[in-house]
Amino acid sequence: MADKYVIGVDYGTLSGRALIVRVADGVEMGSAVFEYPNAVMDRALNATGAPLGPDWALQDPNDYVEVLKHAVPEAIKASGINAADVVGIATDFTACTMIPVLEDGTPLCQLDEYKGNPHAYVKLWKHHAAQPHADRINAMARERKEAWLPRYGGQISSEWELAKGLQILEEAPDVYKKMWKFVEAADWIIWQLCGTYVRNACTAGYKGNLQDGKYPSREYFAALNPEFADFEEKISHTIGELGDNAGPLTAQASSWTGLPVGIAVAVGNVDAHVTAPAAKATEPGQMVAIMGTSTCHVMNHDAITEVPGMCGVVDGGIVSGLYGYEAGQSGVGDIFAWYVNNQVPQRYFDDAKAAGTSIHQYLTDLAAKEAVGAHGLVALDWHSGNRSVLVDHELSGTVLGLTLTTTADQVYRALLESTAYGTRMIVDTFAASGVPVKEFIVAGGLLKNKFLMQLYSDVTRLPISTIDTDQGPALGSAIHAAVAAGEYANVNAAAEAMGKVNKHVYTPNEERALQYDKLYREYVELHDYFGRGTNNVMKRLKRMKREG
């Protein structure tokens, strides 16, 4: 009897990856990547060349379909399997990534009348131009003592559905009126595969503020803007649990992918949350950090409680039967990339090339030679704002302690350290709220940096396990595809058979940890000084930037 296979498709910020996985044991057979032709539109709209304002981040949804047409067939070819042996497909997506659509699923940006309107396009997860709307949403929720607000750490993000929807209403009311639904890209791509719109429980809870079966009230939405009273109608729809079968693959999707008509298409999911089963992290207290351009921290717990600054707690948000908690850092790898691309002198690039290594590894190797604290620096990791625990995208990054003798590699190390301090702030906040982190598991591209991983272990004082795959989200999606296809009874069982993890690869070094404790205290002081209202200079500068 032939082996059975499933496909996981991971939609990232710049590309989509398809992975073929054997159902029986999680062996990865082959994969392929397709780069989005339109990438991220954060300076100008590709269709017209019109400039975009600060903090915009848009995409073209057609790029997502192109992933299905290219990456899936190429992955099948690379794997050498027979496509007829594939029994299911699942996808995961960055979130909150939103698309305004017509009733048949057509994105408004594909209509001639809206091709020049940026509000008709996908608002990517890192679209932060709705921050003023988020501020009003939070202020109104506090004033009205909305019961759902504590479930999000007391403050929601400009990245989420409510803020992005309110921005459309007030800046492009014609787009708002025209759209039938404001849809998560995670659900839209499933719609394209099976022909049925199913709203996944994960994004509905974390990004759409669905708690205890209810969205915020019509009265609350109307208090923000009378024309916003109908917003629930724009975001509500049938909820699908994670791992459920959303419907059979359509003939059209079969022609795109080369997969058999009628195979199972799993309910949509989020790249971070879907990675937890891939790392065998389905039990309470196992925090998974998916570290890439940003970091998302997800963890299951058997009780519900309020954690300041968390990105949400959702019943069944990661696996059914447990409460899924989420936190995150808006910039991690993005910060390192920004620094290298804009601040590092050419001689470092020349030396890295001569050494036969990447610029990031070269800077890491230089930084690793110094003792903890030898650079005399401490940095704040807010170059893309703060997702947790302050939930404020008006904040910005800074490096304190620079002198005329500070070197580029020293600043690079300070930035690496700042992201570790940001993670410890999250871990400490969860623990203080009665949700202790018992195991810290890292997934994502940054786990390849061994110095950074050891640094995180030293700073957090936690042993660090690592996922044993380079394609955590895609593997996690494949696990859900296997469940949707009926090959496993639930996600937990599938994760045990198909997931991959290396236990306690890094453990804290007590001597370094003691030094980092001192630096972390300085980070906390700066964190609270700039982030909790003592000095709002970062926000004033952002306001001047927008007005200029």
* Domain contains 275: no
Mean pLDDT of 137-150: 97
* Final residue belonging to a domain, choices 224, 240, 266: 266
Residue 22 reports pLDDT greater than 50: yes
The reply to whether 25 and 55 lie within a common domain is yes
Residue 548 reports pLDDT greater than 80: no
pLDDT at 379: 98
pLDDT at 354: 98
Cα distances from 4 to residues 274, 280, 286, 486, in angstroms, run: 21, 21, 30, 12
Closest CA to 232 of 219, 247, 243, 241: 219
Closest CA to 429 of 206, 201, 154, 209: 154
* Domain contains 19: yes
pLDDT at 416: 98
* Domain contains 470: yes
The reply to whether 99 and 168 lie within a common domain is yes
* Domain contains 274: no
Q: What count of other Cβ atoms lies within 10 Å of the Cβ of residue 37?
A: 10
Residue 182: strand pairing partners: 100
Cα distances from 33 to residues 8, 30, 40, 255, in angstroms, run: 12, 11, 17, 19
Q: Hunting for tokens 């921050």 — which residue is that?
A: 131
pLDDT at 517: 98
* Final residue belonging to a domain, choices 266, 290, 307: 266
pLDDT at 1: 46
The reply to whether 537 and 398 lie within a common domain is yes
The reply to whether 243 and 94 lie within a common domain is yes
Mean pLDDT of 217-231: 98
The reply to whether 232 and 365 lie within a common domain is no
| Cis bond upstream, residue 65 (ω within 30) | no
* Domain contains 253: yes
pLDDT in tens, 514-533: 999 999 999 999 999 999 99
The span from the CA of 359 to the CA of 357, in Å, is 7
Paired tokens of 26? 């999680």
Closest CA to 472 of 464, 461, 460, 480: 480
* Final residue belonging to a domain, choices 266, 292, 310: 266
Cα distances from 12 to residues 15, 185, 250, 426, 465, in angstroms, run: 5, 11, 24, 24, 23
CATH (domain of 445): 3.30.420.40
Q: How many domains does the chain have?
A: 3
The reply to whether 12 and 127 lie within a common domain is yes
Mean pLDDT of 373-380: 98
The reply to whether 321 and 204 lie within a common domain is no
| Cis bond upstream, residue 202 (ω within 30) | no
The reply to whether 359 and 259 lie within a common domain is no
The span from the CA of 11 to the CA of 14, in Å, is 8
Closest CA to 168 of 212, 113, 108: 108
The reply to whether 79 and 139 lie within a common domain is yes
The span from the CA of 154 to the CA of 152, in Å, is 5
* Domain contains 273: no
The span from the CA of 326 to the CA of 172, in Å, is 31
Paired tokens of 316? 């069944």
pLDDT at 471: 93
The reply to whether 235 and 302 lie within a common domain is no
Q: What count of other Cβ atoms lies within 10 Å of the Cβ of residue 48?
A: 11
Q: What count of other Cβ atoms lies within 10 Å of the Cβ of residue 341?
A: 9
Stated pTM of the model = 0.90
* Domain contains 187: yes
Range of the domain at 24: 5-266
pLDDT at 314: 96
Cα distances from 503 to residues 119, 272, 471, 473, 475, in angstroms, run: 45, 19, 18, 19, 18
pLDDT in tens, 474-529: 999 999 999 999 999 999 999 999 999 999 999 999 999 999 999 999 999 999 99
The reply to whether 21 and 33 lie within a common domain is yes
pLDDT in tens, 270-299: 999 999 999 999 999 999 999 988 999 999
* Domain contains 76: yes
The reply to whether 343 and 467 lie within a common domain is no
Paired tokens of 234? 């724009």
pLDDT at 546: 84
Residues ≥6 apart with Cβ < 8 Å to 546: 53, 54
DSSP class of 250 = P
pLDDT at 233: 98
Residues belonging to the chain: 548
Beta strands in 168-266 (DSSP E): 181-184, 199-200, 239-240, 245-248, 264-266
Residue 391 reports pLDDT greater than 90: no
pLDDT at 179: 98
Paired tokens of 436? 């202790």
